[in-house]
Amino acid sequence: MSGEHTSAPVAARVRRLEERLIEAGVVGEEQLDAALAAMLKGASPVNGARIVARAWVDEGFRARLLDDANAALPEVGLSMAGGIQEQRLKVVENTETAHHVIVCTLCSCYPIGLLGPSPSWYKSEAYRSRVVREPRAVLAEFGLELPADTAVTVWDSSAESRYLVLPRRPDGTAGMSEPELAALVTREGLIGTAAV
């Protein structure tokens, strides 16, 4: 994760700002280091994958997750309170006839506390502008071609509401354990730009 040459001036700007804020007592150096470490530790979609795997194997959990995700997450040791402020989470379930995909057209709202920082394309003007106008074309750019009779729903996140896609369990996975199932789930699957 080394800085690129072209980002050297901005890296120096960040360093100088941190130093001035530490000198002024606005933030603590240890506080910054701890926040950075905690954030990098959680910077992965494994938590989202765990939620999906549990929902695939536990019908009761699946129903509770779809009904009230914030209330169901503690069952897998997670919560939406891990970020800066707690937001409502709605889990939307893909079926044979319905596909869901999430976006934040205004900025980059995303379940960071569960999935880590979002990928660059999620924050790009191209994705934010286009997925609400031509979702099938956007999904095709990810290699996801949906049948014409599959209904596509696009969920626009906001400051207070976040979304997570519950992908369909792939065929041929009946014998798999929960950890094995979790390993099948990708970040794109949780956003809805991949099938799983």
Partner 1 sequence: MSRVNDVGGQTGFGALEIEADEPPFHADWEARVFALNSVLVRNGVYRLDEFRDAVERMDPQEYLATSYYERWLKAIETLLAERKVLADG
**Of 7, 107, 124, 177, which one is the catalytic site residue?**
107
**Which residues ranging from 23 to 82 are in contact with partner 1 (CB under 8 A)?**
24, 26-27, 31-32, 35-36, 39-40, 43-44
Q: Which is nearer to partner 1, 75 or 156 (CB)?
A: 156
Question: Which residues have C-beta within 8 Å of that of residue 54, sequence separation ≥ 6?
Answer: 61, 75, 76, 178
Neighbours of 15 (CB within 10 A): 10
20: burial class by Cβ within 10 Å (0-12, 13-18, 19+)? exposed
Taking CB under 8 A as the rule, does residue 130 contact partner 1?
A: yes
Q: Which is nearer to partner 1, 40 or 71 (CB)?
A: 40
Taking CB under 8 A as the rule, does residue 132 contact partner 1?
A: yes
CA distance 55 to 75: 11
CA distance 30 to 148: 54
Q: What are 84's two structure tokens?
A: 């800066």
**Residues acting as catalytic residues:** 104, 107-109
Q: Name the residues that contact partner 1, by CB under 8 A.
A: 1-4, 7, 10-11, 13-15, 17-18, 20-21, 24, 26-27, 31-32, 35-36, 39-40, 43-44, 84-85, 103, 105-108, 116-117, 119-121, 123-130, 132-133, 138, 141-142, 156, 159
